[in-house]
């Protein structure tokens, strides 16, 4: 190491090398030193609020990462993580100097740093959580570097304003600590919790600190007594191990007092004893000796070695009544388990060999599935944000297979966790040999058997009331979305069959034709199912499709989803008493003849809005112009209608489209969304001649069974 000239480096950098030198080659260590020197050069003119040179921050981040036993790629990324964000250095230079992996991590951290959280509506933090976890799915080291970055920033928060302190503490407690928990990084989790507690609730923090300090001497004496008794017992039985006592952290004490409504004096388990053995077999032997020494409290013995937590945490927990007559929590684990408990499984990924711990592999796979569900619109941000903070319960199949489920999970969640088809054909469940209702909440150790009925046509939307997992809800919602899609595909086939018969062509020829694809605005790679879906969604008549293959006798129909150009010709709108002025219809409120309208002048021309459109209210009077409807009898105008439904049959969409078709209204697009636990929302784009015609159609829909609300969109653009 002397060859790397570490003697003149800052203490933090020497500590980093102290963690690395046994496991990495001299070449790898030189690249870490180069990263430090490059970061120091780029940050040379920058200082922190404390007055320290800025390089101290990335040095501290690198030290935290080294203590967590992460690889040299992570250490280099920690040293460089602010270079792109805070200096003129481009990301490409990072890649050229230090490689793609380092550049990818730096880029991920930079993107997270640029995310903004709306403090007025902090629930939007879910989107930040989402983006952070998606970054993690590409390379978990992005999040590890960000956690280390946040930890050091929280340690030096005294130099920030009170407003910034509270803002960062709230972000940390509600965003970063759940991530650290899910990754099993206890040593970072508890520090972030206590530091956030200090700035969010300074009076409560000071009070807890004072109470803990006032009784520390007494507790230390008692703890030492317990340690001595236990050490003697284990030594007599030939067990060589490390025994230590630890205090509960301030945030943990405060949270327990609030949740249980207890005073400080009523919190007995302020200290805990940890036994670290050499092997996992010794853990169980020690547990037996502890129970011989002190009486265990029934129901307080937990075996996380046989059934690890979903974040990979392994340990034996027991709470006993000591010879003093007070409860004492004891944790027993071997050295490897202890290392994992402190730093998380992520710290033990062997990137150079491409290996991955199975628990993290499972978690990342679940994350990627959730990302897909989100992109498809079948799960929401808030669902995921809540789910990552839930504890686990441990469930067994009849064959003894262990499954981790979120606390509060029900039998329908278990069914879908086995397989999507098992969930779709769910007919009931037995728990511990007894039939239970669908809403039964699973408990630790339950043995669950799912009853399957293959003749069951599929799930009911009612099941969403009982599904607690975002994954389960996504699968149920996807089923209905695909069911709706099938209805529309059949509609598309009906239309094409009519066209094929009229033109004496095959349906396959029509689907392969450039005319049809160009008309639908698709590329040549789109599959048959998507083409049929688009035709069915947009409700084109057979005549419209057939006209594509014949010389047009008149002006062709409008492009799908776009207003007819004739709608914006001057003959339909009178501007300041004059015709001949080009206008366009606003896509936020979609006015139709019969609506009271106003013109808005902009660089792009005159846009026609409904006069009560919220967007118009934001515009100064000097930008408005008086407009009226002209001769609109021969024109059709696109507008949008929202239908909210609690219909569970899946047939409603077909009925909606059919009723519009019978009245010669053209629906050009249908978007389906799940807004509530058992509600579906359809957004319809529809062409009408007038407000009266639109209201007649909406009134008809309101009277249909299964539709609970019908209204127009307004001011959403």
Handedness of CA 372, 655, 537, 694 (dihedral sign): negative
What are the residue numbers of the active site? Answer: 85-86
Cα 36 to Cα 30: distance, rounded to the nearest angstrom:
10
R_g (Cα) of the chain, nearest Å? 33
Show the tokens assigned to 636. 């059709």
Nearest Cα to Cα of residue 235 among 243, 247, 223: 243
Q: How far apart are the first and last CA of the chain?
A: 62
d(C-alpha 639, C-alpha 167), whole Å: 42
Helix (H, G, I), strand (E, B) or coil at 614: helix
Give the span between the Cα atoms of 712 and 690, in whole angstroms.
14
Counting other chains too, the contacts that 58-64 makes at CB distance below 8 Å and 24 or more residues apart are: 58/82, 59/10, 59/12, 59/13, 59/16, 60/12, 60/152, 60/155, 61/145, 61/148, 61/149, 61/152, 62/12, 62/13, 62/16, 62/36, 63/12, 63/15, 63/16, 64/148, 64/151, 64/152, 64/188
Distance CA 475, CA 680 (A): 15
Task: Quote the CA–CA distance of 338 and 456 in Å, as a whole number.
Answer: 48
Strand pairing category for 434-436 and 583-585: unpaired
- What count of Cα atoms within 13 Å lies in the side-chain half-sphere of residue 712? 24
For 443, list phi and psi in degrees, rounded to 5. -115, 160
> 696 near 684, Cβ under 8 Å?
no
Tokens of 159: 């130099």
The pair of structure tokens assigned to 465 is 């009331």
239 CB burial (10 A radius; 0-12, 13-18, 19+): middle
């Amino acid at each position: 190491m002397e060859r790397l000239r570490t003697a003149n480096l800052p203490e933090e950098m020497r500590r980093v090398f102290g963690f690395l030198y046994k496991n990495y080659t001299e070449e790898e260590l030189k690249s870490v030193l180069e990263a430090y020197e490059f970061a120091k050069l780029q940050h040379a003119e920058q200082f922190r609020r404390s007055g320290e040179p800025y390089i101290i921050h990335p040095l501290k981040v690198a030290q935290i990462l080294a203590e967590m036993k992460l690889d040299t790629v992570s250490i280099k990324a920690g040293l460089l993580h602010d270079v792109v964000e805070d200096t003129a250095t481009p990301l490409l230079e990072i890649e050229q100097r230090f490689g793609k992996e380092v550049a990818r991590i730096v880029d991920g951290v930079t993107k997270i740093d640029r995310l903004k959280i709306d403090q007025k509506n902090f629930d939007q933090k879910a989107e930040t959580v989402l983006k952070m976890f998606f970054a993690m799915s590409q390379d978990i080291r992005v999040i590890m570097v960000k956690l280390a970055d946040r930890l050091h920033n929280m340690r030096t928060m005294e130099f920030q304003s009170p407003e910034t302190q509270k803002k960062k503490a709230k972000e940390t407690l509600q965003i970063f600590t759940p991530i650290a928990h899910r990754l099993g990084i206890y040593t970072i989790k508890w520090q972030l919790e206590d530091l956030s507690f200090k700035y969010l609730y300074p009076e409560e923090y000071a009070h807890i600190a004072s109470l803990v300090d006032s009784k520390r001497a007494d507790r230390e004496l008692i703890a030492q007594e317990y340690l001595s008794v236990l050490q003697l017992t284990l030594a007599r039985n030939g067990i060589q191990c490390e025994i230590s006592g630890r205090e509960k952290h301030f945030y943990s004490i405060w949270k327990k007092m609030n949740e249980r409504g207890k005073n400080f004096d009523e919190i007995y388990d302020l200290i805990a004893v940890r036994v670290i053995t050499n092997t996992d077999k010794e853990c169980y032997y020690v547990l037996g000796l502890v129970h011989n020494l002190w009486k265990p409290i029934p129901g307080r013995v937990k075996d996380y070695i046989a059934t690890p937590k979903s974040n990979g945490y392994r340990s034996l927990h027991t709470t006993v009544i000591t010879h003093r007559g007070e409860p004492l929590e004891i944790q027993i684990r071997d050295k490897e388990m202890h290392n994992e408990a402190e730093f998380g499984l992520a710290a033990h990924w062997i990137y150079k060999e491409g290996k991955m711990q199975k628990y993290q592999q499972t978690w990342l796979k679940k994350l990627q599935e959730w990302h897909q569900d989100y992109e498809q619109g079948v799960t929401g941000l808030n669902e995921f944000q809540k789910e990552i903070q839930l504890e686990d319960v441990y469930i067994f199949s009849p064959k003894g297979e262990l499954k981790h489920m979120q606390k509060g999970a029900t039998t329908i969640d278990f069914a879908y966790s086995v397989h999507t088809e098992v969930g779709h054909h769910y007919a009931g469940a037995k728990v511990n040999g007894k039939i239970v209702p669908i809403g039964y909440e699973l408990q630790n150790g339950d043995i669950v058997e799912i009853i399957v009925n293959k003749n069951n046509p599929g799930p009911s939307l009612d099941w969403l009331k009982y599904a607690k997992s975002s994954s389960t809800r996504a699968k149920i919602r996807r089923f209905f979305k695909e069911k709706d899609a099938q209805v529309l595909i059949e509609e598309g086939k009906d239309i094409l069959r009519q066209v094929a018969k009229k033109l004496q062509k095959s349906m396959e020829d029509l689907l392969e034709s450039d005319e049809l694809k160009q008309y639908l605005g698709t590329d040549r790679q789109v599959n048959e199912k998507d083409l049929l879906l688009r035709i069915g969604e947009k409700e084109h008549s057979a005549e419209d499709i057939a006209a594509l293959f014949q010389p047009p006798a008149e002006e062709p129909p409008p492009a799908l989803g776009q207003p007819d150009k004739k709608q914006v010709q001057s003959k339909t709108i009178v501007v300041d008493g004059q015709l001949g002025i080009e206008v366009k219809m606003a896509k936020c409120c979609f006015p139709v003849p019969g609506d009271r309208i106003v013109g808005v002048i902009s660089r792009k021309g005159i846009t026609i809005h409904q006069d009560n459109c919220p967007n118009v209210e934001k515009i100064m009077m000097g930008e408005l112009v008086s407009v009226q409807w002209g001769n609109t009898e021969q024109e059709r105008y696109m507008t949008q209608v929202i239908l909210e439904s609690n219909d569970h049959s899946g047939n409603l969409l077909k009925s909606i489209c059919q009723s519009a078709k019978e009245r010669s209204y053209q629906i050009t697009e249908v978007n389906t969304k799940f807004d509530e636990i058992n509600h579906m929302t359809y957004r319809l784009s529809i062409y009408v001649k007038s407000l009266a015609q639109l209201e007649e159609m909406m009134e008809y829909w309101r009277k249909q069974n299964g539709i609970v609300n019908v209204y127009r969109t307004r001011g959403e653009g």
